[in-house]
Chains A and B, each alone.
Chain A
Amino acid sequence: MATKVLAGVTVEVNEEGFLVNPADWTKEIAAELAKEEGIAELTEAHWKVIDFSRQSAGTSGAAPTLRGITSGSGVSTKELFSLFPKGPAKKVAKIAGLGKPEGCV
């Protein structure tokens, strides 16, 4: 498994840059992962989604689906796409330090 230095900390990442251990995650790491995804600054609206996703993942570390995020956090799908352009579920999972959403071949 590859390692990478994020916000001054060495962490394990998979081949797509997702954190291997959700416990390694910090807010500083989130900000750096966001930059990799083309999001220059994490606003309060971004954090609402990230915090919800970490909470929903709980101890299992499983990322919520897009539908899970919209129904659970109250942020609309449209808004999610403007906050995390293109694939929000995958981007949120990555920035929140969770695994890639399961179930894709």
Chain B
Amino acid sequence: MKKIVILGAGTAGTMAANHLTRLMDLDEWQITIVDEDPIHYYQAGYIFVPFGKANPNRLMKQKKNYLPSKVRALQQKVELIQPENNKVILADKTILDYDFLVIATGCDIYPEETPGLAEHEWGKSIHSFYTLKTAVALEEKMRNFQGGRIVVNVVENPIKCPVAPMEFLMLADSYFTQKGIRDRVELIYATPNSGAFTKPVASKLIGDMLDRKNINVEADFYIDRADPDAKKIISYDERELEYDLLVSVPLNKGSDVIGKSGLGDDLNYVAVNKSTFLSDNFDNIFVLGDAANAPTSKAGAVAHYATEMFVENFKHYIEGKPLEEKFDGHTNCFIESGYGKGVLLDFNYEQEPLPGRFPVPGIGPFALLQESRLNHIGKLSFEWMYWNILMHGRKVPLAPTMSMAGKWTDWEKRFNIA
């Protein structure tokens, strides 16, 4: 028997397990998947939790219900990967040999890496929403908030779902308006980027949206430390920002086991070829989803397209054929913009987001880079699609590579912008 070992049973790992089970001859291949956490979280739903718009219980499912019965599933912590020996060592000392390894261990937040964040004010005046637990704690804080300054701060890029901090602010604008206290709430976005968005067209169109919603951007803000007693954050160039509520997006890093096994960069991400997800250093290791250092968004939507591409490639690869399918960095994401509306972005490594219609050119039904109610509904219905289609390894009728059809390169003319 030849052996495939998958580490991590989140979005990418679960999808890979389902697709590979269908693809491989299971009389010849044994597939094992390892994860220490029995719960599969729908992370894209976290953004709604602080606003009381998602039931936390609904965002949790049993991982085993989404794994094929023919896959050997082990609930164990991974202790060490030995890529030179093709072995994985688990916490209970089990040793797994593999012919091919798929790393899908994701990334997580590390608030303790920034002084002052995860100390005595954590959970009081300093919150986050990047885990279900923190999102639930923030819901109570938001419910009781009577006014003051809310600062949303991204510690360092890359982060999971780069648009989530802006979604939080736009939802907060709508939330406090509906509560009738928007005039008593100041909303600030402190980002290490040079603006809310850095790609020119999105920056122009969505940057204006933040202005209209009276959300102020503090650009080039690279946090050095928080002062939890004085309730302020201080940047490396000594700019100070006071807050009443700090919503932090802490440093994101890959799994510790990646670092410990010598497979990671400074942030424990594994170096891969950004078109094929094959490890730069080992020709029998593929890295899917957030665990890889590919310069794309760390998001389930990317993991989805990338995993479909990987599976097609893998079939050829084990026969000794070249990796022909190339991932182009295709991402699409719904951005909640408040008041029951949303914006859809569709882009890849080379092509920045543009306005237009998706997926059918000229028709949609979704509007690219513009606010619409249907985009919001699209975001909500994605949850159903995630559990019932993607996580069972079924394909959605959308091409994994990006298409320019339906994108308006002449958007300035259409919008009457000279």
Contacts and interface: CB of A to CB of B under 8 A. Distances in A.
Report if A and B associate in a common complex: yes
Interface of A: 15, 65-68, 71, 77-78, 80-82, 85-87, 90, 102-105
B197 A105 contact: yes
5 A-B pairs with the lowest CB-CB distances in the bound complex, closest first: A102-B295, A104-B198, A81-B236, A103-B295, A86-B220
B307 interface: no
Contact of B157 (A78, A85, A103): A103
Contacts of A104: 157, 162, 193, 198-199
A66 B222 contact: yes
Interface of B: 156-158, 162-163, 192-194, 197-200, 202, 220, 222, 224, 235-237, 265-267, 295-297, 345, 347, 353
A78 B222 CA distance: 10
A70 to B, nearest CB: 9
B325 to A, nearest CB: 21
A105 B199 contact: yes
A78 B194 CA distance: 18
B4 to A, nearest CB: 29
Contacts of B163: 105
Nearest to A64: B266
A78 B30 CA distance: 51
A87 B297 CA distance: 21
A105 B194 CA distance: 11
Given A67-B267, A103-B158, A104-B199, 18 more contacts: A15-B200, A66-B222, A78-B224, A80-B236, A81-B222, A81-B236, A81-B237, A85-B237, A86-B237, A87-B222, A103-B295, A103-B296, A104-B157, A104-B162, A104-B198, A105-B163, A105-B297, A105-B347
Contacts of A105: 162-163, 197-199, 202, 297, 345, 347, 353
A67 B266 contact: yes
Given A105-B297, A105-B345, A105-B353, A87 B200 contact: no
Contacts, number: 50
A77 to B, nearest CB: 5
Contacts of A82: 237
Given A81-B237, A103-B158, A105-B297, A68 B199 contact: no
A45 to B, nearest CB: 16
Given A77-B224, A77-B236, A104-B199, A90 B194 contact: yes
Chain B interface, DSSP helix/strand/loop, else mixed? loop
24 contacts: A15-B200, A66-B156, A67-B156, A67-B267, A68-B266, A71-B266, A77-B236, A81-B222, A81-B236, A86-B194, A86-B220, A86-B237, A87-B194, A87-B220, A87-B222, A90-B194, A102-B295, A103-B157, A104-B157, A105-B197, A105-B198, A105-B199, A105-B202, A105-B353
A10 B282 CA distance: 42
Contacts of B297: 105
A98 to B, nearest CB: 14
Contacts of B224: 77-78
A15 B224 CA distance: 31
Contacts of A68: 265-266
B97 to A, nearest CB: 34
A78 B158 CA distance: 20
A86 B199 CA distance: 18
A15 B204 CA distance: 15
A104 to B, nearest CB: 4
A78 B236 contact: yes
Nearest to B251: A67
A60 to B, nearest CB: 11
A71 B265 CA distance: 11
A21 B237 CA distance: 31
A25 to B, nearest CB: 22
Nearest to B163: A105
Nearest to A100: B198
Contacts of B156: 66-67
Nearest to A90: B194
A88 to B, nearest CB: 8
A90 B156 CA distance: 14
A19 to B, nearest CB: 18
A87 B194 CA distance: 7
A87 B195 CA distance: 11
Nearest to A80: B236
Nearest to A79: B236
A68 B158 CA distance: 13
A90 B158 CA distance: 14
Nearest to B296: A103
Nearest to A87: B220
B256 to A, nearest CB: 17
A28 to B, nearest CB: 26
